[in-house]
Amino acid sequence: MRNRPITIRDLALKLDVSISTVSRALRGAPEINPETKTAVLSLAKELNYQPNVVAQSLRNKKTNTIGVVVPEIEMSFFSSVMSGIQEMARSHGYRVLFTQSNECYQEESHNLDTLLQSRVDGILMSISRETSNTEHIQKILRTKTPIVFFDRTPHGVPASKVIVDDRDGAYKAVSYLISTGAKRIAHIGGPRNLEIARNRRKGYIDALSEFNHPVGEHLIVHCEHLKEDAVEATKILLGQEEIPDAIFCINDPVAIKVIQTIKDKGFRIPEDIQVIGFANDPVSEVIEPPLSTISQPSKAMGRAALKLLLDQLTDENDFQPKTQLMETELLLRGSTL
Amino acid sequence: MRNRPITIRDLALKLDVSISTVSRALRGAPEINPETKTAVLSLAKELNYQPNVVAQSLRNKKTNTIGVVVPEIEMSFFSSVMSGIQEMARSHGYRVLFTQSNECYQEESHNLDTLLQSRVDGILMSISRETSNTEHIQKILRTKTPIVFFDRTPHGVPASKVIVDDRDGAYKAVSYLISTGAKRIAHIGGPRNLEIARNRRKGYIDALSEFNHPVGEHLIVHCEHLKEDAVEATKILLGQEEIPDAIFCINDPVAIKVIQTIKDKGFRIPEDIQVIGFANDPVSEVIEPPLSTISQPSKAMGRAALKLLLDQLTDENDFQPKTQLMETELLLRGSTL
DNA sequence: CTGAAAGCGCTTACAG
DNA sequence: CTGAAAGCGCTTACAG
């Protein structure tokens, strides 16, 4: 038997006033008699009254809840973003409905439907590695539910986003490798449909071109399933006649696998092969040698994404999609010269 | 301008039937005329009708939402549990409201209030390192909102829980150290108010006692703030006249710091000092040497906790608190002999 | 300053 | 098989 929660009606009956009055007292409406207000508040406290936010949401057509869709909470980048989102949401009185797509388009689409049915005030999302068509997102846009993307953004969708300059981050990484004298710089890329993967690849190519390094297709391998394909990708690179002397990886989880595979094969890092990742995953500073990487302010990205969403909620009429670019930094550790 | 979502009233008007009929058709009530039903369903689909779950929740006094309180989503153990919870929730039609306490009692208590106000059907929780008094939990119990604890459970609260046998896990770890010939086995413990910390400590002491090893208070150091105190704790142990030849750590994040500190001080692992952790954090297999540890089925623990909660939701009348014990395993890697 | 009434979008007992 | 009505717990325009 569940205890029936206290309602404003209970309070009203006990105090012999109307529910309107109780409601006004609780909400701190200006028209209320101070004494009535005190009486209501003290009774509410005494009975541990908890407003029914479900009822409030229905009445106000606002749930004070935002929905989040991430590919995988177990990826440390996303749990860190999530932490930033939660922190910011809490401080603004918002609740967070959490979903993950498990890198699967179907689940992602289903999650969006769930969030829509839940009448979240807005959505924060990073797309799955499978997502190239954006029908499910167009559906959200049609309902005019504000949505802000972070990190992995869909192509050609008019929505705000929080990203780092992926091309520039990659460019910094590869330029550095060139400065150490690396000649055959390979790239292990990510799923081709992800913009972040295309942009990091572009940064890699831009750096090579600028310094007149040859750009060879055989030096680029794509991991459509990210770290799950990383061992295989590394083996392909190490199996060539001339092995690379540096590898720039799409992200740290992939770079970790790359380092392990290189070591297994008996090559030395960084002497034989240098490695750079992307994201500054906690594992990267622990692995031997510690992984050089491009850091992203993951937690701040979460906070920023929520902030953009809240801004959009405030002035829904004159909404313009904004792109917020966050800073990256080249972190040099033992995996590079 | 937000688009007004389609309601059953819109469908009813278009089809010239009553909202009762539409409601029944959508919910697949048995009394409905098949043709009416088809008409309703096809129009609903055409207009992309999404039921308003806020209204449903208010009417049904059931939100199909469960609330989660974890200390820190960035700890990989918790993000893994969270993933299990989410997966199971989704497959049972439940949504997940996510909160974290940041290891802070105040925030934890506030989170519980928020979940109560949100009228979640049940709560899943792992307490903060600061939590020793359980007033905030008693408040939940009084409302009869089902709550299930996992991993970090409060003392003396009549509620279901999902845990591993921490004492036994610790016992296995320390017995193994003894079997390798270790003589001075130290323990870096966790916050004293956490039962898991007390139980792991007990397993440590039990193993030592059973094999007639001396149990010395100077061999035990507590990290009240977990990994934040770990470097300091290690220095204390290494600063003694006779340094330990093995250290059993409260968890992997702490053990990681311990390994780093030991290496910094110029000792060899495992030759001079062996190290064992607890939890099988992803970092543990990457660090050099790889960390031996006690594995916990974190994702399965999340699923199990949600399962216990759902069971409790089904038969609320004859509820008996259950304790589900999950298996641990000693994983031997390079940090032990 | 306070109350009665309407309504948010549903579900369901009741009557037909 | 279908509809009218009540009600879930709130908020607020309107009247007094």
Write out pLDDT tens, residues A128-187. Answer: 999 999 999 999 999 999 999 999 999 999 999 999 999 999 999 999 999 999 999 999
Write out chain A residues lying below 8 Å of B63, CB-based. 54
Q: Is the pLDDT of residue A1 over 60?
A: no
State, as a whole number of angstroms, the distance between the CA of B117 and the C1' of D1.
40
Query: Residues 32-61, chain A: which have Cβ under 7 A from strand C?
Result: 32-34, 36, 55, 58-59, 61
Say what the pLDDT of residue B34 is.
87
* Contact between B119 and A83 using a beta-carbon 8 Å cutoff: no
Query: Could you tell me which chain B residue has the CA closest to the CA of A76?
Result: B74
User: Topology of domain A8-51, per CATH?
Assistant: 434 Repressor (Amino-terminal Domain) (1.10.260)
The beta-carbon neighbor of B283 closest among A2, A50, A283 is: A283
Could you check: is the Cβ of residue B24 within 7 Å of any atom of nucleic acid strand D?
Answer: yes
Could you check: is the Cβ of residue A4 within 7 Å of any atom of nucleic acid strand D?
Answer: yes
Could you check: is the Cβ of residue A31 within 7 Å of any atom of nucleic acid strand C?
Answer: yes
CA distances (Å), A244 to each of A237, A238, A263, in order?
7, 7, 14
Closest residue to D8 (CA to C1') is B59
Give the list of residues 6+ apart from residue A281 with CB closer than 8 angstroms, or none.
A76, A77, A251, A252, A253, A256, A293
How many other CB atoms sit within 10 Å of the CB of residue B4?
A: 10
Query: Could you tell me which chain B residue has the CA closest to the CA of A113?
Result: B50
Q: What is the pLDDT of residues A290-313, one digit of tens each?
A: 999 999 999 999 999 999 999 999
Write out chain A residues lying below 8 Å of B65, CB-based. 97
CA distances (Å), A197 to each of A105, A157, A187, A245, A278, in order?
18, 17, 11, 22, 11
Domain residue limits, chain B: 8-51, 60-164+298-326, 166-296
Q: Is the pLDDT of residue A189 over 70?
A: yes
State the Cα torsion A134-A137-A139-A142 to the nearest 10°. -110
Write out chain B residues lying below 8 Å of A107, CB-based. 90
Query: Could you tell me which chain A residue has the CA closest to the CA of B89?
Result: A99
Residues B273, B260 contacting (CB under 8 angstroms): no
The beta-carbon neighbor of B143 closest among A5, A74, A145 is: A5
Query: Could you tell me which chain B residue has the CA closest to the CA of A93?
Result: B114
Write out chain A residues lying below 8 Å of B8, CB-based. none
State, as a whole number of angstroms, the distance between the CA of B117 and the C1' of D9.
12
CATH number, domain B166-296: 3.40.50.2300
CA distance B217 to chain A (A): 31
Alpha-carbon distance B126 to B153, whole Å? 6
State, as a whole number of angstroms, the distance between the CA of B20 and the C1' of C16.
15
State the Cα torsion A96-A101-A103-A109 to the nearest 10°. -120
DSSP H helix total and E strand total for chain A: 12, 12
Q: What is the pLDDT of residues A65-87, one digit of tens each?
A: 999 999 999 999 999 999 999 99
The beta-carbon neighbor of A118 closest among B53, B87, B142 is: B53
Alpha-carbon distance B288 to B4, whole Å? 58
Q: Which helix (H) or strand (E) covers residue B83, if one does? A: helix B76-91
Helices A252-264 and A230-238: crossing angle, nearest 10°? 50
Say what the pLDDT of residue A2 is.
62
Say what the pLDDT of residue B31 is.
81
* Contact between B97 and A100 using a beta-carbon 8 Å cutoff: no
Percent pLDDT > 70 in chain A is 99
A18 nearest nt, CA–C1' = C3
Query: Residues 10-69, chain B: which have Cβ under 7 A from strand C?
Result: 19-20, 23-24, 26-27, 49, 51-52, 55-56, 58-60
Could you check: is the Cβ of residue A28 within 7 Å of any atom of nucleic acid strand C?
Answer: no
The beta-carbon neighbor of A54 closest among B63, B144, B288 is: B63
B8-51 and B60-164+298-326 share one fold = no
* Contact between B1 and A114 using a beta-carbon 8 Å cutoff: no
- In terms of Cα–Cα distance, which of B270, B266, B263 is closest to B248? B270
Nucleotides of C under 7 A from a protein CB: 1-5, 7-13
Write out chain A residues lying below 8 Å of B74, CB-based. 76, 79-80, 83
Could you check: is the Cβ of residue A138 within 7 Å of any atom of nucleic acid strand D?
Answer: no
Q: What's the full length of chain A, in residues?
A: 337
* Contact between B3 and A95 using a beta-carbon 8 Å cutoff: no
Average pLDDT of each block of 10 consecutive residues along chain B (337 residues)?
A: 83 92 89 87 92 96 97 96 97 96 96 96 96 94 95 95 97 97 96 95 96 90 94 95 95 96 96 97 94 97 97 85 95 96
Give the list of residues 6+ apart from residue B170 with CB closer than 8 angstroms, or none.
B199, B200, B201, B202, B203, B204, B207, B248, B278, B294
Contacts 24+ apart (CB under 8 A), B211-214: B211/B175, B211/B178, B213/B178, B213/B183, B213/B185
Residues B242, B216 contacting (CB under 8 angstroms): no
Mean pLDDT, all residues of chain A: 94
Query: Could you tell me which chain B residue has the CA closest to the CA of A288?
Result: B288
Query: Could you tell me which chain B residue has the CA closest to the CA of A52?
Result: B117
Write out chain B residues lying below 8 Å of A143, CB-based. 2-3, 5
The pair of structure tokens assigned to B176 is 């193994």
The pair of structure tokens assigned to A15 is 């105090």
CA distance B72 to chain A (A): 8
* Contact between B5 and A48 using a beta-carbon 8 Å cutoff: no
Residue B328 DSSP one-character state? -
CA distance A237 to chain B (A): 22
Alpha-carbon distance A46 to A49, whole Å? 8
Could you tell me the CATH superfamily of domain B60-164+298-326?
A: Response regulator (3.40.50.2300)
Say what the pLDDT of residue B274 is.
97
Write out chain B residues lying below 8 Å of A114, CB-based. 95
Say what the pLDDT of residue A35 is.
87
CA distance B25 to chain A (A): 18
Mutate to test the interface with A, among B45, B49, B50, B298 (most CBs of A within 10 A): B50
